[in-house]
Amino acid sequence: MSIELELQQAIYSVLKHGLAYPVFDDVPENLTPPFVVIGDDTLIQFDTDGESGFEATLTIHTWSAYRGRAEVKEMQGAVYNLLHRADLTITGYNVLGCDFEFSQSMVDSDGVTRHGIQRFRIYIRG
């Protein structure tokens, strides 16, 4: 299994078991918010002479139909509390850290849906 898939599964497990909202990697059609989506990721290899290592980023999207930004910000807070400094487990690897990088909230192009975006940086040694 790839390190990218194992990282996604670790994040999914933490969010699925810790959030009061459904979590998806691919959102079913016509699903009504609120829900959370595991979004785009990056992975950069950084090896030393004796170890392999990776630096990953992962974007989390939160979606809300609540009027105003309160719900999407509440959702972002719950995601932050679960992932920032999380003790992630990936078989065969040592996750050194998962750190929050940024968050943003906006009104979607439909004028109603609120969209939150967060990014986390994860450091992994093999």
CA gap 64, 58 in Å, rounded: 20
**Contact present, 43 and 56 (Cβ < 8 Å):** yes
Q: What are the strands of the beta sheet with 53-64, ordered from one edge?
A: 23-24, 35-45, 53-64, 114-125, 94-107
Q: Which of 62, 43, 64 is nearest to 54 (CA)?
A: 43
Considering the entire predicted model, what is its pTM? Answer: 0.94
Structural domain range at position 43: 3-125
pLDDT in tens, the chain (126 residues): 699 999 999 999 999 999 999 999 999 999 999 999 999 999 999 888 888 899 999 999 999 999 999 999 999 999 999 999 999 999 989 999 999 999 999 999 999 999 999 999 999 998
The domain that holds 69 is classified in CATH as 3.30.2000.30
As given in the structure block, the two tokens for residue 24 are 């998806």
